[in-house]
Amino acid sequence: MSTDDWKVLVKSEGILRDMAGKQVVRLIDAFAGCGGMSLGFVRLSKARFEPVWANDVNEYAAETYNTNFGNHCTIGDIVDILADPEMIIPKADVVIGGPPCQGFSLLNKGRADDPRKHLWKPFLEIVKRSNASVFVMENVPQILGSPEFKAILEESQEMGFKVASSKLCAADYGVPQTRYRAFILGCRFDDPEKYFPPKKTHYDTNNGYSLGRSNPGYIDDPLPWADVRAAIGDLPPPESTEIRSEPSPLDLHFGRTPTPVSRARYRAIPEEGMNRFDLQKRVPELTPKCWIKKVSGGTDLFGRLWWNKPAFTIRTEFFKPEKGRYLHPEQHRPITHREAARFQSFPDDFVFKGTKIEIAKQIGNAVPPLLAARIADIVYEMFIRRGS
């Protein structure tokens, strides 16, 4: 969808429409990151969303957003931005975003007073100032059982919203990755539980799904989960260890310079699905002592992916095999930035800006665009039914 598409808009019966008569929904992306969620709403959904404003504290992520969606992203701490009396949040129909989630993460169990738990407050402040009638908040699944979730519900209801929430698996919506995220959908003019969660478009062939039977949680003709081979099987072995000057997808398809010990570890576990326990069985002398002492848990650490399964959750340090199941199914190396971006469902023509480390953060922190697109579809359906 080009920038020119947004130049001519008309109002009909109080509803913003494009020249083809399609309703246009104005969109704000708070805590936007590189724009994974916006990508789903603006380009990959069946709907027509117009980005009007965004915010992120990271300048590289904001540059990526602005490169792909137009110069809408304001850089800075959202609390400071909202405290500026001269700051005007534009009017919008929908506010989306994922307030930083580390405070809720299982990796931060001991940080009960983490102030990042409360960044949902400025998110709802943006909803209020923009006069949006729908919001979509994304976070880690642990938020759904937290005291903060109860507070979000209470404040949303005071603002006039009805709210629905659910934990969704990205693989159920075409993303080649079993990433689980929580979504909270609020609407002023309709009950979101009539639409949310969106019907699943893909199914796990190993989970008892039977074609030809009634499955109300799925679309009529769902597809099998997308797997690693479908996502990255066409890519050649990576070259170089830096961002390449070649066209996409090879620009971000670069490797690392592992130590001789790391190379030996990779070669010691050559089969799909192997992990640190296989490493310990085969070459205990190459296994870190901390892993030998940890006899349970962490089954994905130093793990190889399977060709015929989705990838596992892509985090910000996917290039470090000791952090998760990030080894290529057969090549003796970690996955590349391009492979991680594809596992997140970013199309190859999406432009990332920044250093290798910064781009990795953007990829790992993003909402998978294909998952966001399916949520966008139901949000748009609510607006269509409201205007009909």
Across the range 318-341, mean pLDDT stands at 97
Q: State the DSSP string of 143-173.
A: GGGSHHHHHHHHHHHHTT-EEEEEEEEGGGG
| 176-226 residue pLDDT tens | 999 999 999 999 999 999 999 999 999 998 876 666 556 789 999 899 999
- How confident is the model at residue 213, as a pLDDT? 58
User: CB neighbours of 356 closer than 8 A, spacing ≥ 6?
Assistant: 242, 243, 337
Amino acid at 197: P
- How confident is the model at residue 216, as a pLDDT? 83
From the list 328, 303, 302, 325, the residue with the least C-alpha distance to 313 is: 325
pLDDT above 90 coverage of the chain, percent: 80
- How confident is the model at residue 15, as a pLDDT? 65
Preceding omega of 238 cis (within 30 degrees of 0): no
Structural domains in the chain, CATH included, are: 3-225+366-387 (3.40.50.150), 229-364 (3.90.120)
- How confident is the model at residue 206, as a pLDDT? 84
Residue with tokens 């003796």: 332
Across the range 244-251, mean pLDDT stands at 96
Catalytic positions, written as ranges: 101
| 357-377 residue pLDDT tens | 999 999 999 999 999 999 999
| 271-325 residue pLDDT tens | 999 999 999 999 999 999 988 888 877 788 999 999 999 999 999 999 999 999 9
Tell me the C-alpha distance between 197 and 3, whole Å.
31
Q: Helix/strand/coil (H, E, C) string of 103-126? A: CCCHHHCCCCCCHHHHCHHHHHHH
Q: How many residues does the chain have?
A: 388
Tell me the C-alpha distance between 34 and 352, whole Å.
8
Residue 10 reports pLDDT greater than 60:
no
**335 close to 328: Cβ distance less than 8 angstroms:** yes
**194 close to 187: Cβ distance less than 8 angstroms:** no
The CA angle 332-337-339, to the nearest 5 degrees, is 70
Q: Which residue did the predictor score with more confidence, 38 or 101?
A: 38
**91 close to 30: Cβ distance less than 8 angstroms:** no
The CA angle 73-78-79, to the nearest 5 degrees, is 160
pLDDT-based confidence at residue 3 (cuts at 50, 70, 90): very low
